[in-house]
Chains A and B, each alone.
Chain A
Amino acid sequence: MKSMSPFPVQIYHLFSSIRLAVIVLVLLAVDLCFAYISLNGRESLFDAMNRQSIWVWINSYGVENIQYTAWFFALLFLLSVLVLNTLVCTGDRLWKLIRRWRTAGANRQFCFSMSTHIMHLSVVVILIGYLLSYTMTRVSPSLTVVPDLPTKIPGTEISLELIEMKLPAYEGSRLQPFSGRVIQPEILLRMMSHNESRTAWLGFNKPVRFLGHTLFLQKFSPRSNSSTMSLSRYIVIDVRNDPGVLFYFAGIIFFLTGMVGLVFFRPVRRCST
């Protein structure tokens, strides 16, 4: 610390301030209000981000539609500040906590404070996961798979085969427009590579993971068993190789651990009789 020049010290103090966190959170709320206005009917601009790296998106959609994407750039900036702020604040307080632990040992208060920091750090882990997702994910969008004809995922040795489609028609009465339509298809897929092969059921809310790739159902046909439109049987899937997923799960597990610690080690108030 002593070797630091005044400017880095100023920066350090700025990022270790709780006030900064409050300001950033307020600005995030303001920014999301702008997002609400900008997004109206322009979701497809951002939908493209799911299919390409964020750098490609920024250089194309992002820059070309700056009046609608400005809030997103501001969001990136604010989240970066929030991550730095969280890291510095948590690091600062964690260091003090560890020093206290060295002298006084672990007690209930220590575990309680530690749980809070674990929750803060887990948010950072989740945000890093998002950063990895948007910068390093490889996507094969709109891959059509039909029965009896294996489809290869581009750039891999993985082949997909559609084995069976369960298309139960909606028979409830609450969603009248969907009467007789299929809204919850279940697709049995076989995934094959040189060394491994397995089958799994794929659905809209049930993606399938195979050798680091996640398969998401995008659309299917036929939409109803009595459809007068296309009766051809096929599914369209998006395949993502997303290194951020592990970070999300790790972050969520850390967060839950911290939350359990927070409840379990909360300070006990003793009532005096």
Chain B
Amino acid sequence: MKHGFVIIFIFFLLVLSACEQQEKPAKKTKSFLQIGEFTITRESDILTLARDGAGRTLALVPRDAPAPEGYSPSAIIRTPVRRVAAYGSFDVATLRALGVLDATLVAVTKPQEKWFVDDVRRGMDSGRIIYLGNAGAIDYELLKKQEPELVLTWDPSIIPMLNELGIACVITSTPVAMCLNARMSFVKFLAPFFNREKEAEDFFRRVSDSLADIRARTAGVFEKPRVMWGDMYEKRVLVEPGNAWIGELVALAQSGYLFEDIYGTSCIEISMERFLYSGQDADIYFTYRTPATGASSKATLAKLNPLMAGIKPLGPEGKVYAPLPHYSQSGDKLDEIFTELSAIMHPELYPGYTLKYFQEIPDIDPPISSSGEEQ
């Protein structure tokens, strides 16, 4: 009897653990969707629960449905949401991917000159979208005047004030970096707020197709470039951890991510020694800095931080890439960004590819002409 008990238990454990995460047959009604640390639970036709990045539960209810019991007024969001204020560029890009940016976005926390998204610039020109002030200290009077129904933010400090104003809020950042799937699926988290599930599905399929293409192209690649992504600042060294989408994408594109063993939040701090040690093996280095913030050439980077001069990518045989200013606002073009990263890692597989979101920085700054322009 005892032996039977042991055998049954081990069999039970093995069967459950061996279950592969295969594509499950589509259920009639999907009741639970997990996107990294975000979740969407469809409780009924008139109640959907959304768990945001801070673990707060929000009730999404159609406009004409009665308010559910047990939720504070600021946790009830009427759908489709009509007016949104957004802090993050990725949130704005997601609204664009859902096709609701023009109709819903009413406030942002970057001034007009820092926007590269035409829809946002146009909205700001027309006065439909306003600048609320710096993200660290927004103008609540302006916010109230815009009457948003929802604020998408990373800053939890504004929640008590938003509760006072009766404005719902979703925290769109998470304590742990978004994995590749979460990055692609985030659009599915915001979709129920706007009744745009179909658009979210289309976007997700498009990005999935780009990943399938990367997988197919890079299959059988013999030489795996080693990649590092981060930067050394005056007092801190920040990198993308291995659990972030970047780490996963690099691995998917048959390349080696040198911070694969680091787990945690996006832009995680590591020791300078570790950065320099990994830098000795790297072939490709992605910096956080843009040309405007110091990544204009390898020589400039080395001058900014002489210790960094010792990493291999800053040498003649290495490559350094800097994001272009519009990169961080192009979250609705994830498929193109993924493809571009793959093209950077395996240029031989993408002949004639022109970079759109990153630029390879030269060894030295181009000389300045007499007219003041770089040659």
How long is the Cα–Cα vector from A6 to B75 in the complex, in angstroms? 56
Partner of B20, one of A14, A67, A71, A74: A67
How long is the Cα–Cα vector from A8 to B5 in the complex, in angstroms? 17
Write the A230-269 contact mask toward B (1 if CB under 8 angstroms, else 0). Answer: 1111101000000000000000000000000000000000
Who on chain A is nearest to B163 by CB? A151
10 contacts between A and B (CB under 8 A): A23-B6, A27-B9, A51-B55, A64-B34, A67-B18, A67-B19, A71-B13, A142-B156, A144-B157, A232-B137
Asked whether A172 is an interface residue with its Cβ less than 8 Å from the other chain, the reply is: no
Interface residues of B in 166-221 (CB under 8 A from A): 171, 176
Partner of A60, one of B19, B39, B161, B243: B39
Chain A nearest CB from B272 CB (Å) reads: 10
Asked whether A90 is an interface residue with its Cβ less than 8 Å from the other chain, the reply is: no
How long is the Cα–Cα vector from A14 to B21 in the complex, in angstroms? 37
Interface residues of A in 61-108 (CB under 8 A from B): 61, 64-67, 70-71, 73-74, 77-78
Asked whether A145 is an interface residue with its Cβ less than 8 Å from the other chain, the reply is: yes
Write the B1-16 contact mask toward A (1 if CB under 8 angstroms, else 0). Answer: 1100110011011001
Asked whether A177 is an interface residue with its Cβ less than 8 Å from the other chain, the reply is: yes
Who on chain A is nearest to B34 by CB? A64
Residues on B with C-beta less than 8 A from A14 are 1
Chain B nearest CB from A75 CB (Å) reads: 10
CB of A230 within 8 A of CB of B2, answer: no
Residues on A with C-beta less than 8 A from B19 are 66-67, 70
Chain A nearest CB from B237 CB (Å) reads: 9
Number of A interface residues, CB 8 Å? 43
CB of B160 within 8 A of CB of A151, answer: yes
Partner of A61, one of B6, B34, B56: B34
Number of B interface residues, CB 8 Å? 44
CB of A70 within 8 A of CB of B55, answer: no
Asked whether A155 is an interface residue with its Cβ less than 8 Å from the other chain, the reply is: yes
Most buried by A among B18, B39, B75: B39
Write the A33-46 contact mask toward B (1 if CB under 8 angstroms, else 0). Answer: 01000100100100
Chain A nearest CB from B39 CB (Å) reads: 7
Tell me if A's interface is mostly helix, strand, loop or mixed. helix
Asked whether A207 is an interface residue with its Cβ less than 8 Å from the other chain, the reply is: no
Who on chain B is nearest to A22 by CB? B2
With A154-B75, A236-B54 as given contacts, are A67 and B21 in contact (CB-CB < 8 Å)?
Answer: yes
Residues on A with C-beta less than 8 A from B161 are 146, 149
Residues on A with C-beta less than 8 A from B13 are 30-31, 34, 70-71, 74
Write the A10-30 contact mask toward B (1 if CB under 8 angstroms, else 0). Answer: 000010000110010001001
Asked whether B277 is an interface residue with its Cβ less than 8 Å from the other chain, the reply is: no
Write the B65-79 contact mask toward A (1 if CB under 8 angstroms, else 0). Answer: 000001010010000
Chain A nearest CB from B198 CB (Å) reads: 22
Interface residues of B in 18-70 (CB under 8 A from A): 18-21, 32, 34, 36-37, 39, 41, 51, 54-57, 70
Asked whether B136 is an interface residue with its Cβ less than 8 Å from the other chain, the reply is: yes
Residues on B with C-beta less than 8 A from A59 are 32
Asked whether B155 is an interface residue with its Cβ less than 8 Å from the other chain, the reply is: yes
Asked whether A141 is an interface residue with its Cβ less than 8 Å from the other chain, the reply is: yes
Chain B nearest CB from A116 CB (Å) reads: 24
Asked whether B336 is an interface residue with its Cβ less than 8 Å from the other chain, the reply is: no
Asked whether A122 is an interface residue with its Cβ less than 8 Å from the other chain, the reply is: no
Who on chain A is nearest to B162 by CB? A144
CB of A144 within 8 A of CB of B160, answer: yes
With A64-B34, A230-B136 as given contacts, are A144 and B17 in contact (CB-CB < 8 Å)?
Answer: no
With A60-B39, A74-B12 as given contacts, are A232 and B136 in contact (CB-CB < 8 Å)?
Answer: yes
CB of B271 within 8 A of CB of A177, answer: yes
CB of B17 within 8 A of CB of A34, answer: yes
Residues on B with C-beta less than 8 A from A19 are 2
Asked whether A137 is an interface residue with its Cβ less than 8 Å from the other chain, the reply is: no
CB of A230 within 8 A of CB of B171, answer: no
CB of A144 within 8 A of CB of B5, answer: no
How long is the Cα–Cα vector from A67 to B14 in the complex, in angstroms? 10
CB of A74 within 8 A of CB of B16, answer: yes
Asked whether B159 is an interface residue with its Cβ less than 8 Å from the other chain, the reply is: yes
How long is the Cα–Cα vector from A48 to B175 in the complex, in angstroms? 13
How long is the Cα–Cα vector from A67 to B22 in the complex, in angstroms? 11
Residues on A with C-beta less than 8 A from B55 are 48, 51, 141-142
How long is the Cα–Cα vector from A61 to B41 in the complex, in angstroms? 11
How long is the Cα–Cα vector from A94 to B109 in the complex, in angstroms? 69
